[in-house]
Amino acid sequence: MALKATIHKAQLQLSDMDRNLYCDHAVTIARHPSETDERLVVRLLALALNAPASPDESPLELAKDMWEPNEPSLWQKDATGRVTHWIDLGQPDEKRLLRASARVERLSVYNFHSNAQAWWKDIENRLTRLRNLSVWQIPSKQSQGLAVLVQRTMTLQITVQDGSVWVSDDTQSVEITLQRLRGPTED
């Protein structure tokens, strides 16, 4: 018998002072049986950090990357259904990034593994022509700190100011210092 997904509900209260964006998002997440607490909360963080700044933009959606290998972790589609922003988590291989880059306007990767620098150093030179690629490193200790915030039902306050990110619930707070490995400064 196959294991089923676990449903999590999150209320994200976003205050992104860097983009002058203040909003709430109610998110229902189908958590794959093999997904860790750390990865789940990194998906929520990526959702908040890439939330559209204008109500005219299409919403960012959780995709089914752990069930469907041809889907990202999150995506944004235009009115025609074409994917405009593809977001992967972890350490996707270069072929996946090359394929995705050819189909989208923006391609973002959020890596939270302790060996991120080695992974990036190994593939960086083969991806130099991808102008739409941004790669971010979340320090492993910080992403592991985020994992303690995961509940089946959670309310998270996410504050972004001067490039620093704070994620908190009613009892604790974790500061995230994103490190840009590649990409434009305005991403």
Q: Is the dihedral of CA 37, 145, 14, 49 positive or negative?
A: negative
Q: Among 3.30.420.40, 3.10.640.10, 3.90.1010.10, 3.90.1150.10, what is the CATH number of 6-182? A: 3.10.640.10
If pLDDT is split at 50, 70 and 90, which confidence band does 186 have? very low
Alpha helices (H) along 1-74: 37-49
Percent of the chain beyond pLDDT 70?
97
If pLDDT is split at 50, 70 and 90, which confidence band does 183 have? confident
- The rounded mean pLDDT for the chain is 93
- pLDDT, residue 1, reads 59
Of 33 and 158, more confident: 158
- pLDDT, residue 187, reads 41
At 33-81, the pLDDT tens digits run: 999 999 999 999 999 999 998 888 899 999 988 888 889 999 999 999 9
- Whole-number Å distance between alpha carbons of 46 and 105: 17
CA nearest neighbour of 109 among 130, 82, 79: 130
At 98-114, the pLDDT tens digits run: 999 999 999 999 999 99
CA nearest neighbour of 161 among 52, 12, 19: 19
**CB burial of residue 161 (10 Å; 0-12, 13-18, 19+):** exposed
